[in-house]
Amino acid sequence: MNAALYFFNPRSIAIIGATADPKKFGNAVTKNILENKVLQCEIYLITQNSEDIQGKKCYRFLSEVPGEVDLVIILVPARIVEIVINQCIKKKVKGIIIITAGFGEIDDIGKRVEQEIVRKCKENGIRVMGPNCVGIQNLEMGLNASFIQTAPGGSIGMISQSGSIGCACFYEMQEWNLGCSKFASIGNNVDFSYFELLEYLKEDEHTRLISIYMESIKNPKEFLKVLRLLTPVKPVISLKGGKNAIGMQTASSHTGSLASDNRILKAALHQVGTIPCDTIGEFITAMKTFSYLPLPKGEKIGILTNSGGTAVLFCDHLERFNLQLASFSAEFIDKITPHVIPLVKKVNPLDMIAGAGEKEYFEITRAMLEDPTIDIIVVGLVIPPFLEMDPGEHFKGAVKAWNQTGREKPLLILNLFGEHFSGIKQISKEEKITFFTNPLDVALSIKFLIERMKFLNHLNEIEP
């Protein structure tokens, strides 16, 4: 059985270091677990300082807990962790999350202590996550066994070696209608780690794509082997922190990670079909891409816009990513002619000029979606502050066309710096869609889509 089940789907949890003091991390975890009323799970709070917390009875020691315990979350100071581990072994728990920091990320003594903990736990069939992590979350179960906010719900299985990167990504994901099915922060990554997590997420029906922020990989060969089996099934997005000498030195202080050559790693990750990102901005762009967009059938891009400059800036990135524009067919031009003013040049990118509104966006987007020579549609847009236009009308027109055609082709909305209009966020929430605000992100997103299309096509060729 995959040990991840004890972490993501525990039948019972004990929090050692639970506290009512809102200024302590033990309180943050306790609150996060108790607050979710959906959670079906026995909860035991262990502390010597309170009789009860939020009306929930506390136990002084783990040994006093009446039932079995699947998962223990440890929040006591580092110097007491080893004592607590012994209690866990006695209690025959299945999994332990050590949130406490102050181990391998600090010095060699810390490294030895965490290794000793792992050794002891392994002997007793117990798996260890952390130390120096923020915990885990299972959104479907209503479980937030971490001290950070509950992730927005969605289809991303996220593994983050850094808790704060996870936390920051949640802020950003919230804004872009992205969300997690599962979240695991693995911290110093001493035992329970990528392999089991990835195998679990591969089978998890709520997870449609996987994103990984990593600073260290203990066994790259094994890691790549697991990924190779996973990428044909689900897109896997990765971001490596600690890419060069200074970055890696910093990562070593952060999660006790050791160096590995990033260029080789990136090439290897790419080869096994993952989507390695160079920056956290790209990481978010990749999550947007695979959360909402279907894969294209070909590589030809059609662009419509009300802003010539937006199309110019987008096209400036085509070469870098080896992207191709479609040439409009005579049939296509006939089809769109009634919907654009005579001033409009009927070439790709199609600049419909500033006066184009919902109707034009709907008609031209639909024409592109229906055109067999166009595989990918970019809807460029600067929200017009004139002619009494509704800021959301262009967006609505394009999405309506996308919905009518069954969302079969990737439709990328490039709403240049238009994210600050509250109505726009509302539409994208209601329509379950995301959008981009920067030409570079759109070009990169298309690159991701095409690479994944080619990767899967290639697999089908070699294993038909």
Q: Which of residues 199-228 bind a copy of itself (CB under 8 A)?
A: 213, 215
Binding mask 38-77 toward a copy of itself (x if CB under 8 A, else -) reads: ----------------------------------------
Whether residue 95 contacts residue 124, with contact meaning beta carbons closer than 8 Å, is answered with no
Residue 101 binds to a copy of itself (criterion: CB under 8 A): yes
Residues 77-96 that bind a copy of itself (CB under 8 A): 78
Residue with tokens 């790549």: 224
Eight-state DSSP code of residue 436: B
Closer CB to a copy of itself, residue 261 or residue 316?
A: 316
Whether residue 392 contacts residue 427, with contact meaning beta carbons closer than 8 Å, is answered with yes
Contact with a copy of itself (CB under 8 A): which of 126, 178, 251, 269? 251
Residue 274 binds to a copy of itself (criterion: CB under 8 A): no
Tell me how far, at minimum, the Cβ of 272 lies from a copy of itself, in Å.
Answer: 22
Whether residue 44 contacts residue 104, with contact meaning beta carbons closer than 8 Å, is answered with no
Eight-state DSSP code of residue 145: E
Closer CB to a copy of itself, residue 169 or residue 376?
A: 169
Closer CB to a copy of itself, residue 165 or residue 399?
A: 165
Q: What six digits make up the tokens of 355?
A: 């006066």
How far apart (Å, rounded) are the C-alpha atoms in residues 327 and 2? Answer: 51
Residues 332-391 that bind a copy of itself (CB under 8 A): 343, 345, 347, 349, 351, 353-355, 382-388
Tell me how far, at minimum, the Cβ of 249 lies from a copy of itself, in Å.
Answer: 8
Closer CB to a copy of itself, residue 168 or residue 456?
A: 168
Eight-state DSSP code of residue 277: E
Binding mask 294-323 toward a copy of itself (x if CB under 8 A, else -) reads: ------------xxxxxxxx-xxxxx----
Q: What six digits make up the tokens of 276?
A: 């390695």
Q: What six digits make up the tokens of 286?
A: 């990749």
Name 310's Cβ contacts closer than 8 Å, sequence gap at least 6.
Answer: 380, 381, 382, 414, 416, 439
How far apart (Å, rounded) are the C-alpha atoms in residues 366 and 352? Answer: 15
Tell me how far, at minimum, the Cβ of 205 lies from a copy of itself, in Å.
Answer: 28
- Helix (H), strand (E) at residue 52: strand 52-53
Residue 231 binds to a copy of itself (criterion: CB under 8 A): no
Tell me how far, at minimum, the Cβ of 306 lies from a copy of itself, in Å.
Answer: 7
Closer CB to a copy of itself, residue 102 or residue 232?
A: 102
Q: How far is CA 9 from CA 2, 37, 42, 128, 143, in A?
A: 11, 16, 11, 15, 8
Residues 131-150 that bind a copy of itself (CB under 8 A): 147-149
